[in-house]
Amino acid sequence: MISISSNSMKQTLHQYLMQYRSVFKKRSFDIFYWLIMGILCTEEVRSIQFVYDSFIKKHTDKVLNSIYYFLSYSKFPIEALTTITVSIALSLIPEKLRQNTLFITIDDTLQAKYGAKFDCYVKHFDHTKKNGTKYLNGHCFVSVVLNIPLYYQDKAKYLSIPIGYRLYSKEQNKLEMASQIIKYIMPQLEMFQVILLCDSWYSKGAILDTVKEFDNLEIVAAVRHDTAMYDLPPASTGGKGRPRKKGRKLNAREFSYSKIGEYYVAEKKVMANLFEKPIYVTVTTTDIKPFSSIRVFISSINPDEIKTINTALNTKGALNDQNEDECTSKTLTTYRMRWNIEVMFYQHKFFWSFGNYMVRNKAAIERYVNLLFVAYTFACFLPFMDKRYEKYQFKSPQLIKRAVGVQITKELIFDSFVLSFESAKIYSTIKESVQGFLNKDWVA
């Protein structure tokens, strides 16, 4: 496990970010370091210029144009950031939990923008809107999240971290974009059992092809309720001709249902057009007679073979407390972890200023949101790398962000105080430093 500890939070952050050093040239890395620090120390990132004016300009001699140039034109691959983040995440997994299943979650999120001069600015259908127009003008981002098992209070619990954002454009569909990210990280996960979690929009096409490409990758996903299902192929009769690959077509109404909570649940091993091998299907409905509110979930792996050693899922999706779920389907229990990506989207938008990018070209937008996930993952990882922050394990990342920001701000003010003794203008410098500290709350 990586252990990063220093008397200075600035040095701790620098040690952590040095793992990304190979991605950047010297000057670019310096800007990368200050941008991440600025994101962590600014309560609300209203824009790149706001971070520069309220933080970076006060502590460095960098000019604003260098920040914009870094985002728009510096040639660092965001795929490399993804690879390094995955590597850090895997290094944190304790040896005893390395037999546990890792989970990858994919989904997309919409971000409203006002002004048509942004690249990839189009009208998107927004299924979450319940009144008014069903459409949103702005951007769509495809995200991939990795869920890793860590110890918490002597139990295993899964930590969800973003490993990549891609900005949707009409040049490539969202299934292909998500598939590319998965293919990029799978070589790093070859020693683990990996299960992909997604909703019914992603359980098709390029995503299923990707699952079939890797022996250690399986899928637990929602599918359309009218997905064709067939009985297992009948035993060979020994006669001439090719044996049947599928049995008779099945009707989900005929399955055997059990009442679990508010739902009726049925599970069955079936054949489907999605895979050539048998899969495990779980069907839920609120009422058997009218057969309403039907949801169908598939698992390409026998749910009993999912390796969650000393680990259980709670109703919120994190692996924690097994008592509530002893009687539920393991497929459904596993699928609940997909909700963690929705929680992450909420955190990024409301607490990490995800949508406050004021850069226009596609490259700059993608780089900004991926730098944001680097700052976010640092906040998630810090309690597991520095014992002084153990109390923040599995706490809200924005609480950690605030603690880190306060500490770094104090160190920067102290540094300027010490340097002032080397200057003849001691009084004015100290006054500015103290005033900066007093003004921090309203500036942020």
How is 171-209 classified by DSSP, letter by letter? TB-HHHHHHHHHHHHGGGGTTS-EEEEE-TTTSSHHHHH
Contact 432, 412 (CB under 8 A): no
Residue 343 is which amino acid? V
> In the prediction, which pLDDT does 291 show?
87
Cross-strand partners of 220: 197, 299
Q: Tokens 């960098």 map to which residue?
A: 62
Tell me how far apart the alpha carbons of residues 176 and 236 are, in angstroms, rounded to a whole number.
39
Is the Cα torsion angle 354, 107, 201, 128 positive or negative in sign? Answer: negative
3-state secondary structure of 229: strand
Contact 149, 394 (CB under 8 A): no
Tell me how far apart the alpha carbons of residues 317 and 406 are, in angstroms, rounded to a whole number.
31
339: enclosing H helix or E strand: helix 339-351
Helices 362-385 and 9-17: angle between axes, nearest 10 degrees: 120
3-state secondary structure of 227: coil
Provide the token pair at 72: 């728009």
Share of the chain above pLDDT 70, in %: 86
> In the prediction, which pLDDT does 324 show?
43
Phi, psi of 367, deg, nearest 5: -65, -40
Q: Which is higher by pLDDT, 359 or 418? A: 359
Average pLDDT over residues 339-368: 90
Provide the token pair at 105: 């979650």
- pLDDT exceeds cutoff 70 at 439: no
Provide the token pair at 220: 């637990």
Q: Which is higher by pLDDT, 323 or 277? A: 277
- Closest to 255 in 3D by CA, of 245, 244, 243, 264: 264
Q: Which is higher by pLDDT, 420 or 37? A: 37
- Coarse DSSP helix, strand, coil percentages of the chain, rounded to the nearest 5 percent: 45, 20, 35
Tell me how far apart the alpha carbons of residues 69 and 76 are, in angstroms, rounded to a whole number.
12
Contact 73, 178 (CB under 8 A): no
Q: Which is higher by pLDDT, 106 or 112? A: 106
Q: Give the pLDDT confidence of 26-36 residue by residue, as tens digits.
A: 999 999 999 99
Q: Give the pLDDT confidence of 289-339 residue by residue, as tens digits.
A: 888 889 999 999 999 898 875 554 433 443 334 344 444 688 998 999 999
- pLDDT exceeds cutoff 60 at 440: no
Strands 194-198 and 102-112: parallel
Provide the token pair at 214: 């890797």
- What's 52's DSSP letter? I
User: C-alpha 329: how far from its chain's center?
Assistant: 25
Contact 79, 22 (CB under 8 A): no
Q: Tokens 């092809």 map to which residue?
A: 209
The pTM assigned to this predicted structure is 0.86
Tell me how far apart the alpha carbons of residues 11 and 356 are, in angstroms, rounded to a whole number.
28
- What's 138's DSSP letter? E
- Closest to 294 in 3D by CA, of 254, 253, 335: 253
Contact 315, 334 (CB under 8 A): no
Tell me how far apart the alpha carbons of residues 346 and 44 are, in angstroms, rounded to a whole number.
15
Tell me how far apart the alpha carbons of residues 117 and 163 are, in angstroms, rounded to a whole number.
28
> In the prediction, which pLDDT does 301 show?
94
Long-range contacts of 46-54 (CB under 8 A, 24+ apart): 46/353, 46/356, 47/356, 47/357, 47/358, 48/357, 48/358, 48/359, 48/368, 49/358, 54/443, 54/444
141: enclosing H helix or E strand: strand 135-152
Phi, psi of 36, deg, nearest 5: -65, -45
- pLDDT exceeds cutoff 80 at 2: no
- pLDDT exceeds cutoff 50 at 441: no
- Closest to 386 in 3D by CA, of 88, 87, 16: 16
Number of CB atoms found within 10 A of residue 162's CB: 25
